[in-house]
Amino acid sequence: MAKRIDITNVSSYYGKFEAVSDVSLRIEPNAVTAFIGPSGCGKSTLLRTLNRMHEVVPGTSVTGEILLDGENIYDDTVDPVNVRRTIGMVFQRPNPFPTMSIYENVAAGIRLDARRMPKSELDGLVERSLQAANLWNEVKDRLKKPGASLSGGQQQRLCIARAIAVEPAVLLMDEPCSSLDPISTLAIEDLIDELKNNYTIVIVTHNMQQAARVSDTTAFFNLAGIGQPGRLIESAPTALIFSTPGQKATEDYISGRFG
């Protein structure tokens, strides 16, 4: 079940350094939200703040409020482990577990669940996840091979299969195509389009065309200068932001990139 995320006055810190400042934003379910902006403006930091991966880095902190369907994920009573099971993540570089087979990679998250799943049920779930990630046909004959034996684009789709196998409500993707060739990139963009039927998707991208192609809403971030925190400049339906941006900075950034 896709869930809505409400971000209110969120700031993220590395030690004393404020990387993201005072962001308020609503992320709609069953839609793709793209984060764009120059490098260093805190897109990845904000994304990692959404599933409490930010606090994995020592010395970090977060202020503000993030509601997942009305429930504050930073509440004292909330277990970050459960937040991460509900909000899955795909990273910039494909990172399948090198010691696991393709099958084991997909099953990794499911096996964390305390309840034991019968083999046949697990087989079915692995197959469905790989199918949802558009990878099944390519790997169905070599499920026992190492995940690392796949090409970069296949590895990234394997990571997507791994993330959706646990049936999260939200899928966060941090520049998932930046290390991939154009064909793999298109495959993943098609996939994102399908996945939004079941998930809330947030994607960070430095590629304007990609944001324009895959997202329903685009949020533009910027920073005033080196050492300054990143801020949300504006957020609007993607069609609107690319045709008639509300802010000068957004227009400059978009037109600069489109040439």
Partner 1 sequence: MTKLGAGVPDSIQGSVVRRGDLVFRRLAKGAGLAVLVVLAAIAGFLVWRSVPGLRANTANFLTSTAWFPDQSPSRFGIAAIAFGTVVTAALALLIAVPIGFGVALFIAFYAPPKLATALGFIVDLLAAVPSIIFGLWGLQVLMPHLGGLQRWLNDHLGFIPIFHNSLGIYTKSLFVAAVVLGVMVLPTVSAISREIFLKVPHSNVEAALALGATRWETMRMAVLPFSRPGMISAAMLGLGRALGETIAVALILSALNVVNWHVTEPGGNTFAANIALGWNEAGPIGLSALIASGLVLFVLTLVVNVVARSIIWRRAEFHEGL
Ligand X SMILES: Nc1ncnc2c1ncn2[C@@H]1O[C@H](COP(=O)(O)OP(=O)(O)O)[C@@H](O)[C@H]1O
d(CA 155, CA 93): 9
Which of 24, 63, 82, 244 touches partner 1 by CB under 8 A?
82
CB atoms within 10 A of CB 237: 13
Q: Which residues contact 187 (CB under 8 A, 6 or more apart)?
A: 134, 153, 157
The answer to whether the CB of 200 falls within 8 A of the CB of 27 is yes
> Which pair of structure tokens corresponds to residue 237?
């339906």
Q: List phi, psi (to 5°) of 195.
A: -65, -25
d(CA 35, CA 219): 5
Pick between residue 56 and residue 224 the one whose CB is nearest to partner 1: 56
Burial of 154 (0-12, 13-18, 19+ CB in 10 A): buried
Which of 15, 98, 152, 256 touches partner 1 by CB under 8 A?
98
Binding mask 200-239 for partner 1 (x = CB under 8 A): ----------------------------------------
User: Does 54 participate in binding partner 1 (rule CB under 8 A)?
Assistant: no
The single residue listed with the structure tokens 């005033």 is 224
User: Does 45 participate in binding ligand X (rule CB under 6 A)?
Assistant: yes
Helix (H) or strand (E) holding 38: none
Which of 14, 74, 97, 136 touches ligand X by CB under 6 A?
14
User: Does 176 participate in binding ligand X (rule CB under 6 A)?
Assistant: no
User: Does 41 participate in binding ligand X (rule CB under 6 A)?
Assistant: yes
Hey, which residues between 26 and 45 contact Mg ion (CB under 5 A)? Answer: 44
Least distance between Mg ion and beta carbon 139 (Å)? 29
Binding mask 198-237 for ligand X (x = CB under 6 A): --------------------------------x-------
d(CA 2, CA 29): 5
Which of 39, 120, 137, 197 touches ligand X by CB under 6 A?
39
Residue numbers at the binding site for partner 1 (CB under 8 A): 51, 53, 56, 58, 81-82, 84-86, 88-89, 91, 93, 95-101, 108-109, 112, 145-146, 148, 159, 162-163, 166
Residue numbers at the binding site for Mg ion (CB under 5 A): 44
